Amino acid sequence: MARILSVQSHVVSGYVGNRAATFPLQLLGHEVDVINTVQFSNHTGYNTVHGERFAAAHIRDLFAGLQANGLDRGYTHLLTGYMGTSDNVHAVSAMARQLGQTNPELTFVVDPVLGDDGALYVPEELVALYRDELCPRATLVTPNQFEAELLTGIKIATLADAKRACDALHQMGVPNVVITSARIGDDASTLHLVGSELCARSGTKHQFAIGFPQLDGYFTGSGDLFAALLVARHASLANEFAGLAGALAKACELATATQAGVMAATRQHQMSTGIAADPDLPRGSRPSDMVRGFELRIIPSRHLITNPTASFQAFAI
């Protein structure tokens, strides 16, 4: 069982950030403590959002409270998602350094929430901070295609491009890289996960890909869910593989299987609402009832978290 500190966003209603990550991690047998970087009424795909972005001082203060009571001892994993500001990135970097001093075997997982589909969610200055400050400390990073391109400067159009991007992230000091979704070639119906693992014992590199169907819709929080599933599965496989290559690919197969099931259930639920989901609606013009229909069906899909019914096979690249 892992003990995980998860630093991400939080919403009152819906499933993004810590709301998407905590339940799957716990259901798969891990202890989870959370620090929230924002507290919003709902995610930003809705037309209206109320709430507050927390300053770095808030994050540092919460962590100081954990330290004062010795509660920072025993964390095996630090998982980070949406940071939003450069000050928060600095605060999390310091947190990772201190937790690493307490536990030199700490697994630091960075989901670099920067943007998607060619658009940044955060100030551009955060790209360099993730690249220069968080990636060198990370054990595992999980960028999407756009984020991997931002971090490495490599445009991804082929699996060979994706491998080069993984290699660039390895050169930054990251031993495990998963590009969670990339459009490869002209097949619009299929996305690819691309992973690369440096074997801790032999120093060899294991690179692989997994193809999975792309579903149309306005899904939010899917990256947060996937990162949590990957952390949970990878942590559970650590003893089985004992530092040998293969744990990352197996964890990705299981995480992808669950993710595909949850996404399909979400799409089916949205269709059952009878509310039209017109394509290419920009943020700010999407009806709230439609957006609500796309909230991830995590709780109704809990059986797919523990026992996914889909099967995906990683292949070497």
Cβ proximity of 109 and 231 under 8 Å: yes
Q: Distance from first CA to last CA of the chain, Å, rounded?
A: 32
52 DSSP β-pair partners: 39
Nearest to 165 by CA among 137, 194, 185: 194
Helix (H) or strand (E) holding 107: strand 107-110
Q: How far apart are CA 238 and CA 235, in angstroms?
A: 5
Q: Give the residue numbers marked as catalytic.
A: 224
Cβ proximity of 209 and 165 under 8 Å: no
Nearest to 249 by CA among 163, 316, 149: 316
Phi/psi of residue 190, nearest 5 degrees:
-130, 135
